[in-house]
A and B are shown apart, each in its own frame.
Chain A
Amino acid sequence: MTHKTLVQISKDLAAGDYSSRELTQDVIADIKARDSIYNSFISVSEDLALRQADAADARISAGTADILTGVPFAHKDLFCTQGHATTAASKMLEHFVPPYESTVGQRLLSAGAVCVGKTNMDEFAMGSSNESSYFGVVKNPWDLMAVPGGSSGGSAAAVAAGLVPAATGTDTGGSIRQPASFCNLTGIKPTYGRVSRFGIIAYASSLDQAGPMCQTAEDAALMLNAMAGFDEQDSTSVQLDTPDFTADLNLPLQGLKVGLPKEFFGPGLNPQVAECVMTAVKQIESLGAQIIDISLPNLELSIPAYYVIAPSEASSNLSRFDGVRYGHRCDQPQDLMDLYCRTRAEGFGTEVKRRIMVGTYALSEGYYDAYYVKAQRIRRLIKNDFARALAQVDVIMGPVAPTPAFDLGSNTKDPVAMYLEDIYTLSANMAGIPAMSAPAGFVNGRPVGLHIMGNYFNEAKLLNIAHQYQQITDWHLQTPATNPAKEA
């Protein structure tokens, strides 16, 4: 099944070429055989998956199958899965088995999709390289010396390696789009509120949003169809009808207004990445789009503002991991303070601790106005920038990250250098708008993504553009196997 699209697998299953059970067994065998190279999975849920596959096969033969019925997918280990360990890639939750399913997971399971396992990620989704995982780094299938990106690095690597056709991700500051870019995938972060956050372990609640990571825009649209929708268990989920995201895929791009913000093409951008992106933009122009120069003047401020707001929320969100009710607890606590201090010192990794400290500081009396309140003001400026720009153009394009995937270990000593990697992605989370990455070429064998951002609830437009672009290019069809230059 390696590198088959979700659409193809769905057709094969419907045609009876193989059963979901056979497919699931193959997928799990493949993961067991090959994932030691990438470390993209934290756990495989064989028993659960086979039960789901059998149920899917029953639906297929009963004629009640959905398009996702029987299709295997990998679930980022931030989504709570009922009866199966959910770790957030942290020692803190190494043995945590939730008695409940996330809304996204429930929706995918209801559609009949088969969850084969939980993917590796940066601990608590904090990172841009998947190097902060308690369960070890993930290697980029395109180049084993390179990071897969983060925080949804395991999901990206699993799809890129052809282990599964689709995976879930979450994106708080670029965690779907940047690994999609680094691994040659199509990944979309929907509008904030489009997909329920219930049952997803929170990093920064006002920024977190889940979305799919696939090979093609069509597959992403199908996954998003299942994942999106109002959920009364999430107060920030938006009470809005969910459209069929595949409906607009084939619309022509004639007359589409594409904005290129000059701030996305400044000095920090790798020239070869810029070239890939501009080539892609030109091709989209050739489909009838109009390219317009625009400005997002406050883009640069998104890094300091994000690295105040996200850690502030995280410092509070992660307070519940205290060793009292679940998760890691230190041995033989002497008293309550000792229980808290040692449990959290032992349970959290360095990056998580750093962000908890930064957030705690930013919210402290005397600093709150200078940091948190000011960051929220910047957030409003960024939102206004997008509102102005999107009144002028339909979508905004640019690079996803300043560079292709960087080498493993190259940024781990310098957290600020790592944070700068997020310059192009953070602002979409700050504004809450939808944004995606689609494969747009390679630099020295490492993939480069095209970043497409749109107006609120206009995911269908983004997917339409990516799909049309994928009709005239084949970057998304490249696999590490067809392009094995750097596979070790």
Chain B
Amino acid sequence: MSWEIVIGLEIHVQLATQSKLFSGAKVGFGAQPNTQTTLVDLGMPGALPVFNEAALRMAVAFGTAIDAEVCKHSVFARKNYFYPDSPKGYQTSQMDHPIVGLGHLDIQLEDGTTKRIGVTRAHLEEDAGKSLHEDYDGMTGIDLNRSSTPLLEIVSEPDLRTAKEAVAYMRKMHAIVTTIGISDGNMAEGSMRCDANVSIRQKGQQKLGTRAELKNINSFKFIERAINIEVQRQIDILEDGGHVHQETRLYDADKNETRPMRSKEEANDYRYFPCPDLLPIEIDEAYIDAIRQSLPELPDQRSARFVSQLNLSPYDAGVLSASRGLADYFESVVAVCNDPKLSANWVTGELAKYMNQNNLEIDAIPLSALQLGQLISRIQDDTISGKGAKTVFDELWNNAGEVDAIIDAKGLKQVSDQGAIEALVDDVIAQSSKQVQQYIDAAADKRGKMLGFFMGQVMKASMGSANPGQVNALLKQKLDALC
């Protein structure tokens, strides 16, 4: 049987405001429990919320960035439920009147085509606190530092058809929110996380299947894994003649499985109603326009510019504009070495490889754009070979230092002295009479391949320091002269 996967994502983006959504407490990660709280965040009697306008500006910026309807009238609503880390007994969110309405986002598929994904809405809401079950023997600690941290919840249409599309969508969202500066996008610290609504149906069928909601997925890798695991679970159930239950499930990364949340963690009826402590948000066209005008270059625009101005391939341009940090880094490298193509190769190649291996984001890498730019300049001016450059790169990554100093210390400088290289070439030809004879005897179109042996010998004799381009040209010239 052939199944179609239907996925919708709800992405929670933590907004990069200085203070909380409804209080003056600082927003920050890793502080001592309950030190970043006010009466409002603690849900004390008589404490009242005051809306942080910075969050509004960020939500509007997001709406304009995805070409969505920005609502001139939006309303905060209370979502009522009891839980110890929900200090007021309700979460202040938006229900019937969100700040951002219908919009869309284009994602690039693996085959190079573009797919448009609908965005249903985005609304402002406050985060809950945290229950700490581990550190308090038999008891639960409550940390309300995160309470009332501003979130933008972005809800997609069920337009995604594969786990890879879901990842591409999430990455694109990440690129947009980091580019317009409304979030640090730090997934490890929970600044961006998502819930995935996953269902399957038989190909060609119109009606949606029963969905499961996978909660709180906090890395690109886990999105793909969680969705694939869940899809397989649903296929197994349906192919065994069973039914998928509509439920909320958690993805357990350690066991790589999804399992139902305890029913206590869910409430069925949140009794939403407009929050009487907060006035509706009323904004006008001028307010929205001013924010739209001040948007920075968006990822798609930047990618297009990389293609048209820097002659990058659309693929490289897409990869490099996928996060503001990476794109900024890349442009800084180009500014130093003035070689977009080589810079793109290094950033998407060696740098990306090291980042992946070390699980680091661009803002945490030990290598500055200036250093990489200098390194690339040394390839351009033939000081070092590409292979030598990789050694320098590794040294810069692991032990820091200065590019030229490392080249010197490691003896990586290429010999480009024509006379010195010629002497080496002559030596190798003199000592390899058998191979020279084979070269002469070979058909002209086979000789290119045979050049490799002589190259290897010369490079070995130079201890890797000879300029390979020069060696190649000289060898070819001298050997062909013998034929």
In the complex, whether B48 has a CB less than 8 A from a CB of chain A is yes
Contacts A98-B46, A313-B276 known; 9 new A-B pairs at CB < 8 A: A198-B47, A202-B46, A202-B277, A233-B48, A315-B271, A316-B90, A319-B88, A363-B271, A363-B273
Stretch with Cβ within 8 A of A (4 or more), from B77-85, B115-123, B178-186, B229-237: B77-85
Given A197-B48, A232-B50, A233-B50, decide whether A206 and B276 contact each other with a Cβ distance below 8 A.
yes
Would you call B483 an interface residue if the criterion is a C-beta within 8 Å of the partner chain's C-beta atoms? no
Candidates B51, B273, B278; contact of A368 at CB < 8 Å: B273
In the assembled complex, B264 has its CB within 8 A of some CB on chain A: yes
Quick check: is A365 within 8 A (CB to CB) of the other chain? yes
Number of B residues with CB within 8 Å of any CB on chain A: 29
Chain B 269-283, CB-CB to A under 8 Å as 1, else 0, gives 101110011110000
* Contact partner, B45, options A88, A233, A234, A235, Cβ 8 Å: A88
Q: Are the C-beta atoms of B273 and A324 separated by less than 8 Å? A: no
One of B50, B84, B90 near A235 (C-beta < 8 A): B50
How far, in angstroms, from A31 to B47 measured CA to CA in the complex?
31
Check A319/B82 contact, CB under 8 A, given A197-B48, A198-B46.
yes
The distance in angstroms between the C-alpha atoms of A336 and B131, with both chains bound, is 12
Most buried by B among A79, A340, A363: A363
> Are B271 and A100 touching (Cβ within 8 A)?
no
By beta carbon, the residue of chain B nearest A208 is: B276
Chain B residue with Cβ nearest A339: B84
Inter-chain contact total with CB atoms closer than 8 Å:
99
B273 touches A372 (CB 8 A): yes
- Chain B residues with CB below 8 A from A98, complex form: 44-46
Q: Select from chain B the residue with minimum beta-carbon distance to A101.
A: B46
Q: Cβ of A230 < 8 Å from any Cβ of B?
A: no
Instruction: Report how far A256 CA is from B48 CA in the complex, Å.
Output: 39
Determine how close the nearest CB of chain A comes to the CB of B133; give it in whole angstroms.
12
The reply on B370 being an interface residue by CB < 8 A is: no
- How distant is B46 from chain A, measured CB to nearest CB, in Å? 4
Chain B nearest CB from A198 CB (Å) reads: 5
Residue of A nearest to B278 (CB): A235
Give chain A residues whose Cβ lies under 8 Å from the Cβ of B82. Answer: 319, 322, 340
The B contact surface, by secondary structure, is loop
Considering only CB atoms, which chain A residue lies closest to B24 in the complex? Answer: A233
Given A80-B46, A88-B45, answer yes or no on A319-B273 (Cβ-Cβ < 8 Å). no
Within 8 A of A (CB), among B251-278: 264, 269, 271-273, 276-278
Smallest beta-carbon distance A240→chain B, Å = 14
- CB under 8 Å from chain B, chain A span 313-333: 313, 315-316, 318-322, 324-326
Does A337 sit at the interface, judged by CB under 8 A? Answer: yes
A253 CA to B64 CA, complexed, in Å: 56
**Given A100-B44, A102-B46, A205-B51 contact (CB < 8 Å):** no
Partner of A234, one of B42, B48, B273: B48
Contact B43 A316 (CB under 8 A): no
Q: B49 to A235, Cβ gap below 8 A?
A: yes
Q: Are A200 and B46 in contact (CB under 8 A)?
A: yes
The answer to whether the Cβ of B39 comes within 8 Å of any Cβ in the partner chain is yes
**Residue B8 at the chain A interface, CB threshold 8 Å:** no
Q: Can you name the residue of chain B whose Cβ is closest to the Cβ of A199? A: B46
CB of A316 within 8 A of CB of B277, answer no
What 0/1 readout, one digit per residue, does chain B (45-63) give for beta carbons within 8 Å of chain A? Answer: 1111111000000000000
Is B87 interfacial (CB 8 A cutoff)?
Answer: yes
Given contacts A198-B48, A337-B264, A364-B269, contact A324 B84 (CB under 8 A): yes
Q: Shortest beta-carbon distance, A379 to chain B, in Å?
A: 12
B288 near A: Cβ within 8 Å? no
Q: Which residue of B84, B264, B276 has the most chain A CB atoms within 10 A of its CB atom?
A: B276
> Is the Cβ of B271 less than 8 Å from the Cβ of A316?
yes
B23 to chain A, nearest CB (A): 10
**Are B271 and A364 in touch, CB under 8 angstroms?**
yes
B44–A316 CB distance below 8 A = no
Are the CB atoms of B87 and A320 closer together than 8 Å?
Answer: yes
B452 within 8 A of A: no
Q: Mark B396-415, 1 if CB is under 8 A from A, else 0.
A: 00000000000000000000
Asked if A176 is at the interface of the complex by the 8 Å CB criterion, the answer is no
- Check A201–B80 contact: CB distance below 8 A: no
| Contact bitstring A194-213, B, C-beta under 8 A = 1, else 0 | 00011111101110000000
* Most-contacted residue by chain B among A234, A236, A324 (CB, 10 A): A324
Q: Is B298 an interface residue, CB under 8 A from the partner?
A: no
User: Which residues of chain B are near A197, meaning CB under 8 Å?
Assistant: 46, 48
Residues 72-119 of A at the B interface (beta carbon under 8 Å): 79-80, 86, 88, 93, 96, 98, 100, 102
Residues in A neighbouring B90, C-beta threshold 8 A: 316, 319
Q: Can you give 14 contacting A-B residue pairs, CB < 8 Å?
A: A79-B46, A100-B44, A232-B50, A235-B279, A236-B278, A315-B271, A316-B90, A319-B82, A319-B88, A326-B44, A336-B264, A337-B264, A340-B82, A365-B269
Considering the chains assembled together, what is the distance between the CA atoms of A436 and B469 in angstroms? 97
Which residues on B sit within 8 Å (CB–CB) of A360?
271
Please tell me if B28 contacts chain A, counting CB pairs below 8 Å: no
In the docked arrangement, what's the CA distance between A233 and B51, Å?
A: 10
Contact (Cβ within 8 A) A236 B279: yes
A363 near B80 with CB under 8 A, answer: yes
Q: Which residue of A lies closest to B140 (CB)?
A: A336
Q: Does A312 lie at the interface of the complex (its beta carbon under 8 Å from any beta carbon of B)?
A: yes
Nearest A residue (CB) for B273: A363
Contact B46 A201 (CB under 8 A): yes
Return chain B residues, CB-CB under 8 Å to A93. Answer: 45
A199 partner residues in chain B, CB cutoff 8 A = 46-47
Contacting pair B46 A205 (CB below 8 A): no
| B116-147 interface bits toward A, Cβ cutoff 8 Å, 1 = contact, 0 = none | 00000000000000000000000000100000
Residues of chain B within 8 A (CB-CB) of A336 are 84, 264
A272 to chain B, nearest CB (A): 38
Q: How far is the CA of A336 from the CA of B89 in the complex (A)?
A: 14
Shortest B275–chain A CB gap in Å is 8
What is the chain B residue whose CB lies nearest that of A196? B48
Smallest Cβ-Cβ distance to A319: which chain B residue: B89
The chain B residue sitting closest to A231, CB to CB, is B48
Closest to A327 in B: B45
